[in-house]
Structure 1
Amino acid sequence: MILNEMNSAASVEDVLALTLEALRDAKERMRPVFGQERVAASAGRFLETLLGNEPRKTGWMRAEAAGDPGPWRQQALLGRGHWDADALRDVVRDHVVEHLGDADAVLVVDETGFLKKGSASCGVGRQYTGSAGKITNCQIGVFAAYVSDKGHAFLDRALYLPKAWTEKPERLAAAHVPGDVTFASKPSLATAMIGRALAADVPFRWVAGDSVYGVSELEMALRRAGKGFVLGVNANHWFHSWRPDIHWSGEAREIIKTLPDETWVRCSAGRGTKGERLYDWLYCPMADLEASEYSGISTGIWTRGLLVRRNPSDGDLAYFTTWCPQGTPLEILVRVEGTRWRIEEGFETAKNEFGLDHNETRSWHGWHRHVSLVMLAYAMMAAVRSQANAMALKKSQLHKRGRSSAGQSRKSAASP
């Protein structure tokens, strides 16, 4: 669970008190989103059930946990109720920034699949999802996660609509898709999320993503915004250097063949469940460019480069395009790339613990409402974890100071 990463010195009483206070705070924050008090109360009970121990967060199970005779209130909240899921998304964003905000934070963009049967659920279709590792009948949601030293939580989300949906107005109407929604690629959805974060003055310095997002559309948006990035690309992605001292031109997989083995550097991409994630890394700075040519925000020389990760156990390679201030150490680029694991952990926790994939609605707004409520539950517990760890660290430091003072007193008493 998300609380598993808490410092062991945090007591159960401390965690419980923080959780109850966080729940009260979350309900107060989201209250203005709902017009009627009964709808707000229903949303509060929904949030409570997401935090419960039920292995599945289905409508009937949520209703039973909330003390309702059936799932009708839950269904009304997600379906027939009149409230704006994007307004709740903004509440989640502000909550995350308040508790986890940091100027050096990383925004991670990625997608996850929601397995579905039939063809009526909004956006469903046969498409590839890494959740199943194959092409299957599912929905795809694109997400942005906020990662800082204080913790990580989801910041934004969007349901991906394949062209099989956007080219059929009758399907869109049946799923209550807003009239202004048209086809948007996954990188376009991610770019829009980053634009919303920038407009809301969310503090972050970097963006990370896998090879789906390492395309010119997202790259150029980040250059204009003055943000660094480490974005995955395919092995055949073309790189061309403009350096006076060395010339590289060709596919990423061909460029690295020209470099000696001692060029690789082993370092950690961050701690995982089994310790440090050690890989071999190779970095090729391709061009030093004046940032002001792309952005009215940042100045100075920035470097466009190729970063490659090699698995020491099997030699598997992964490639990334990078954009960073000139002289940025390799270790920082590796750290940024390593934050991508946080969003994968987030998907697993949100599905296993908070019912992210237990959405039983079929409509556009039903999907966004359910996911936004889950995001709030996740953000709430991420804040609790951060607070509990800070509390435990403070107690530990006070305990060490107490022992040190006691030791000094004993020495003084023993002095002649």
Structure 2
Amino acid sequence: MTAEDGTDRPEGKVVALDALVIGAGPAGLMAAEELARAGRDVVLAEAKPSAGRKFLMAGKSGLNLTKDAPVDAFVAAYGDAADWLRPMLEEMGPEAVKTWAEGLGQPLFTGSSGRVFPEAMKASPLLRAWLGRIPATLRLGWRWTGWLGDAWRFETPEGPCFLAPRVVVLALGGASWRRLGSDGAWADWMAERGIEIAPFKPANMGFVVEWSDHMRPHFGAPVKAIRLITGEKSVRGEAVISARGIEGGGVYAVSAAVRDGAEFAFDLTPDLSKGEVAARLAKKPRKQTLSRYLGKALGLDPVKRALLQEWGRPLPQEQELARLIKHLPVRHQGPRPIDEAISTAGGIRETDVDDTLMMRAMPGVFVAGEMLDWEAPTGGYLITGCLATGRWAGLHAARWHG
């Protein structure tokens, strides 16, 4: 891939192009590759000074590319969007993603939970190999700012530029991690064309908790081996206590339901029934403090005991205390701000695109990645969803000749 900064583009001139992809994250890169593979002359415009910034950030803690799971179970994780995305995920699901990554020279391994990672445990080697393989022109620092008439308007390092592409794939991301490029500004430009998007909402995020002072010693501590309960659904996982609230993998797994109004509670003893907890509580020696006994008899570590006091005091007796330990309501003040979320829900609705991901109101303009109104949990689903929709949009955009 060749990077250019646009110095040869005179201000005000409308430049004709064959194929334009806007956004150089996983969805945009996949779309650009499919377009180029089909013989289209591709320009890939990226607002930031380098490509794949959010992708690289995701790889800092180990790049979870996908999850090794049967197709039906994998697709089901996309919730309300599962039927919509199924054709794309069946073609670019876990097995295809593994083949793709290995084709870029990245050996993989699968963890005990089924999550698939590069052996390098980071994104940079894969991204370098991928960028080197895509025969497209990469223009960095080119920020799309809407339209001037029918021309696509960009702010570039050398001033305004106006493009007239035959076909376009938009892969601008959602509205979280603004500093990495996903700011959701494109929603206003879509509104100019009469396209109403589903409002952005945080996804895979933590929740605000206004802790009392006695929780300060536990900031940064994990809450291990709990069951997180939202209505009739529950998942086993972990949470992390922070000065701002609660976060972590277990919280992210239930965050969409909690965000949308479901109750939220912790089961602090997921391996014991309520009856077993009550029976053990009934055996507490009179002279032993409750806190010490909770640790000894029920295995509640200091963090769990602190949470029980934080959200449950004054603590009730035996049967009621057992019920509280098994269903401790999480007193939170709502999701963390959208810009801190790992991903977002909302965006361009299924009804606004056709089966090829082309905008119904804008022939020749295709959409991929987090711009679309779908959400999925962490664990490899997000990146696979972006790759799958990017590939789908790129394949169909390659066939468009207007």
* Structure 2 length-normalised TM: 0.26
* Structure 1 length-normalised TM: 0.25
